[in-house]
């Protein structure tokens, strides 16, 4: 099984002629069909992908997956929504084109929560995506199919997008690496917009070095995305060395302290204990780690701020989905009736609820009270983080409350108010556009859990190096889920 190897390993095998790119790609396609049956991870499998030549480029000749909200020329791109179930773009996203220039070969489009608006992987128009570690559990979302496919060893990496934690939480739930670089490092041109001020392109891999290799190839300034910036001076892969002597990290007391959870489950207790053990591993490598206290009222506002801003931006961004310009036409006697029918029958109930909230907070009489105030609190949170980054190299935190919930538990949508901030704190990385990476941090009840490192903007090299240093101290690099068919 070659597709379970790292990018570096595959490149060496290809260069030495031990396997051809055609053989490797076919293995990935064959595995895609198996994982589609088991995990429901794909919208489209590309049976006849573009051929690539093996060159000095590390990604050349190696297969990968693309989340279905990236436009791909001539290939179905649905955003996992019935409203775009037949949509085939005439252009490819800049991030995809950049990978093609490096010789990467796309073999499938991965399932996702509809338009990225979900954190479970259960709202894809093709059905529920199942966690390859345990098929009764969710993958997390919205980059559900990408996470499942990488974890199952279909290929070494897949593309994702992250608006609140949509790369990093699925990575934690699936025992892999999820990396969201600084906002604008990767062009968003061709990525279906969810909430433009929060959206990030990124990747899911099985090692930190692989994440560095992929983003090095994806990044770059783009005249088609005015939020992109020149990152040519940043060399993620080259700068990884694992030396973190003297680095200063912090974690947030109000979120991590077990005493703040009087009804803590055994799962949560073990998860937070594992987190502290990982901090000790970093201390042994020369890092300094301190507990920092932040105003609890500010911390508790994180989920509400995210809900308000993301819903409002999504409602505005997706107003073009009318069935008139593209997508299947709705029924009706006039344009208004056609649009109403298209949007009523095309969107899931979850999407429609979010649009209702977004429209409400954007109404003129409500904007100041809700949308503008949410932006003010966002600014307070970002300012607080930037102030901390003046003294610290990175924030390190556990991801969520532990392992992935079961599919049945995720359907009821009940929020635990006691632990909601622990579940949603990764949204800080989107508020400020900070580089943020999740890596595996062990297992609880045979299901993976994760740990996250977030740093100041443009300091991606440092963030990845800290993650790599920790990864080297744990036995979870390049781990592949044990599927039932493998038992």
List residues with catalytic annotation: 67, 142, 166
276: how many CB neighbours lie within 10 A of its CB?
13
Q: Where are the beta strands (DSSP E) in 378-472?
A: 394-398, 436-444, 447-454
User: Could you give the CA distance from residue 409 to residue 39 in angstroms, rounded to a whole number?
Assistant: 18
DSSP 56: S
- Give the separation between CA 175 and CA 201, rounded to whole angstroms: 20
CA dihedral 47, 51, 55, 57 (to 10 degrees): -60
DSSP line for 19-33 = S-HHHHHHHHHHHHH
464/466 Cα distance (integer angstroms) = 5
Q: Judging by DSSP bridges, how do beta strands 42-45 and 105-110 pair with one another?
A: antiparallel
Tokens describing residue 68: 């279905």
| Cβ–Cβ under 8 Å, residues 138 and 121 | yes
Q: What is the rounded distance in angstroms from the CA atom of residue 324 to the CA atom of residue 65?
A: 30
Strand ordering across the sheet containing 42-45: 42-45, 105-110, 63-67, 157-162, 200-205, 177-180, 436-444, 447-454, 394-398, 248-252, 288-292
Query: Is residue 381 within a helix (H) or strand (E), and if so which, with residue range?
Result: helix 373-388
Angle CA 440–184–193, to nearest 5: 85
The torsion angles phi and psi of 314, rounded to 5 degrees, stand at -65, -45
| 204-230 exposure pattern, b = at least 16 Cβ within 10 A, e = fewer | bbbbbbbbbbbbbbbbbebeebeebbe
Cα gap 284→301, rounded to integer Å = 35
DSSP string covering 306-361: HHHHHHHHHHHHGGG-SSSSSSPPPP-SSHHHHHHHHHHHHS-HHHHHHHHHHHHH
Write the DSSP symbol of residue 83: G
């Amino acid at each position: 099984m070659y597709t379970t190897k790292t990018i570096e390993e595959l490149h060496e095998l290809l260069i030495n002629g031990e396997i051809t790119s055609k053989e490797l790609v076919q293995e990935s396609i064959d595995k895609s069909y198996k994982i589609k049956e088991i995990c429901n991870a794909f919208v489209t499998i590309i049976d006849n992908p573009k051929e690539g030549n093996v060159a000095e480029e590390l990604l050349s000749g190696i297969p990968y997956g693309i989340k279905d909200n990236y436009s791909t020329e001539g290939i179905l791109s649905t955003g996992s929504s019935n409203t775009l179930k037949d949509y085939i773009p005439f252009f490819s996203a800049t991030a995809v084109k950049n990978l093609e220039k490096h010789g990467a070969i796309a073999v499938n489009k991965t399932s996702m929560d509809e338009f990225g608006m979900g954190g479970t992987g259960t709202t894809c128009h093709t059905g529920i995506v199942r966690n390859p570690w345990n098929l009764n559990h969710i993958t997390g979302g919205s980059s559900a199919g990408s996470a499942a496919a990488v974890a199952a060893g279909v290929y070494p990496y897949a593309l994702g997008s992250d608006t609140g934690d949509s790369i990093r939480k699925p990575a934690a739930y699936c025992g892999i690496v999820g990396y969201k670089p600084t906002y604008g490092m990767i062009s968003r041109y061709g990525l279906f917009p969810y909430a433009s001020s929060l959206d990030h392109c990124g990747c899911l891999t099985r090692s930190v070095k692989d994440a560095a290799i992929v983003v090095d190839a994806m990044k770059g300034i783009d005249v088609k995305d005015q939020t992109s910036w020149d990152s040519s001076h940043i060399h993620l892969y080259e700068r990884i060395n694992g030396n973190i002597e003297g680095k200063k990290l912090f974690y947030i007391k109000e979120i991590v302290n077990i005493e703040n959870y009087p009804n803590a489950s055994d799962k949560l207790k073990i998860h937070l204990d594992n987190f502290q053990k990982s901090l000790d591993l970093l201390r042994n490598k020369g890092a300094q780690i301190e507990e920092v206290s932040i105003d609890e009222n500010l911390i508790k506002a994180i989920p509400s701020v995210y809900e308000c801003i993301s819903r409002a931006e999504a409602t505005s961004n997706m107003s073009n989905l009318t069935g008139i310009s593209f997508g299947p036409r709705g029924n009706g006697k006039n344009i208004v009736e056609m649009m109403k029918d298209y949007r009523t029958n095309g969107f899931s109930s979850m999407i429609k609820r979010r649009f209702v909230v977004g429209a409400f907070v954007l109404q003129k009489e409500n904007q100041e009270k809700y949308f503008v105030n949410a932006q003010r609190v966002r600014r307070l949170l970002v300012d607080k983080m930037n102030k901390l980054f003046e003294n610290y190299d990175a924030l390190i935190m556990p991801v969520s409350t532990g392992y992935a919930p079961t599919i049945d538990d995720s359907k009821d949508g009940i929020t635990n108010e006691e632990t909601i901030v622990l579940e949603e704190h990764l949204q800080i990385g989107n508020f400020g556009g900070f580089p943020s990476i999740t890596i595996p941090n062990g297992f609880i009840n045979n299901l993976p859990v994760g740990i996250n490192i977030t740093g100041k903007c443009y300091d991606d090299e440092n963030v990845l190096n800290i993650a790599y240093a920790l990864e080297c101290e744990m036995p979870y690099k390049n781990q592949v889920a044990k599927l039932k068919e493998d038992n």
